[in-house]
Amino acid sequence: MDVFVWIDEELKPTECTTDEFIYNDMESQSGCQLPIIYQPFDAGKRAHWLDRGACFDYLATTGGKRLLDFGPGDGWPSLIVAPYVDEVTGVDASPRRIEVCCENARRLEIANANFIRVAPGVPLPFRDGSFDGVMAASSVEQTPDPNKTLAELYRILRPEGRLRIYYEALNQYRGGRERETWLWKISKQICRLILYNRDIERERVRQYALTFTMSDEELIRHFKGDGLSLAFDMVTIPLIESARPALTDVRVCTLIHPSGRTLASWLKEVGFRRVIPTPDGAEIAGQLFDQLAKAKQPEDMNGVDEIVRPAVESAVTEIAPIGDDPMMTAAK
């Protein structure tokens, strides 16, 4: 029997939304790796250049002074764009994510960013035309109905307002990654095994979370992993069954991950007059880092910004073919 069919029939997982599935249990969605928010900026690290590229991408493409961050995680990108705008508001379905965002804003003494919890699928608590721009980084596809979410984001944008969306299309998983695992260490003695069942043609993912009162090392050994990871084909029905005494919770969450073409179609259907796929500002910053010899790399964030900002502002005005590139701007 297929392992997913068996889990549905035998373990009867609880259907839930993504906040209940994973985000309420995360102390840090980024693993405390974000520059500025968690780490001092280091001009010698490529990942820190990517972060600056993303910052200037969102600023250039939204083009406003009052921004909404839909799904801010640990306060990203809200807290990195805040110094450049009048006000940024983050909304998330997860109470824990909102707590973390508020904690980070207080610690960083950022006064013009605020964060509000909004339950999944509930209309946003803002009047029509409240925001100049909306930033949505890998968040629309985490909602119960992405199409309705886009319509709600359209509603709260002012005339001429713009939505900048980073999305995860499933085509990147084609050819062997349709079924995968991720083992998440929640504490020393609790881990969560997440199983992904991606239907690329239907643009759907059904993901399962099995929580065990075992350390991640113990669970890997139980499933005969290689000591570092746990491949999907190692997660067999007999081995799940034998670990059942330690299984405390089983959840399932079904998500829609639109392709680039589907997303562009939905954006036009809800009313956006222009849909513009463009290069990714973070990738542009990464290319600049790779091209510069170490001796020529700047020493601090201001120096990085002098190089990255104009390059990103120029790149995000270019129109790319609609495909599965992860960045898209929609203009109201």
For 259-284, what is each residue's pLDDT tens digit?
A: 999 999 999 999 999 999 999 999 99
Task: Tell me what pLDDT residue 228 has.
Answer: 67
The pLDDT of residue 225 is 62
Phi-psi region of 129 (alpha: psi -120 to 50; beta: other; left: phi over 0): left
pLDDT attached to residue 279: 92
Whether 134 contacts 107, CB under 8 Å: no
Q: What pTM value is reported for the model?
A: 0.94
Q: What is the mean pLDDT of residues 206-221?
A: 94
What would the pLDDT profile of 59-82 be if each residue is shown by its tens digit? 999 998 999 999 999 999 999 999
Query: Which residues, 6+ apart, have CB-to-CB distance to 5 below 8 Å?
Result: none
Question: Among 281, 264, 258, which Cα is nearest to 322's?
Answer: 264
Question: Predicted confidence band at 257 (pLDDT cuts at 50, 70, 90)?
Answer: very high
> How does residue 226 score in pLDDT terms, banded at 50, 70 and 90?
low
